[in-house]
């Protein structure tokens, strides 16, 4: 299971999301995109993890975001060919974990 507990966005009775990666379509360290599937009901997701860092002399800032977007089976190929592909359903679960560090 991924960070935090959340309810699967698939059809049917509500259940905890228990997702596993099927295929990583992009990974450059800071940005990762994959196709994931709920192990309970089979719902597909477009998973997108990215981080933004500003390591400057005025204060350090970092933010990590993970987004699970409902993906239909016929959208997998479109997602493989387009890093910015947005699934039709528009339903998503998102976690944002930002932090600010002030140096002495």
Per-residue pLDDT of 25-66, as tens digits, reads 999 988 999 999 999 999 999 999 988 766 666 656 667 889
Quickly state the pLDDT bin for 103 (edges 50, 70, 90).
very low
Higher pLDDT, 98 or 96: 96
Domains of the chain, residue spans: 19-90
When the pLDDT of each residue in the chain is averaged and rounded to a whole number, the result is: 85
Distances (CA, A) of 25 to 13, 29, 35, 53: 30, 13, 7, 23
Q: What are phi and psi of 78, to 5 degrees?
A: -60, -40
pLDDT of residue 60: 63
Question: Structure pTM?
Answer: 0.82
């Amino acid at each position: 299971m991924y960070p935090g507990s959340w309810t699967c966005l698939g059809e049917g009775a509500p259940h905890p999301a228990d997702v596993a990666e099927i295929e990583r379509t992009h990974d450059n360290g800071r940005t990762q995109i994959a196709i994931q599937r709920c192990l309970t009901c089979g719902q597909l997701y477009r998973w997108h993890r990215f981080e933004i860092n500003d390591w400057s002399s005025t204060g350090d800032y970092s933010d990590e975001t993970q987004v699970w977007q409902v993906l239909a089976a016929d959208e997998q190929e479109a997602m493989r060919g387009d890093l910015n592909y947005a699934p039709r359903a528009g339903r998503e679960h998102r976690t944002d974990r930002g932090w600010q560090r002030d140096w002495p």
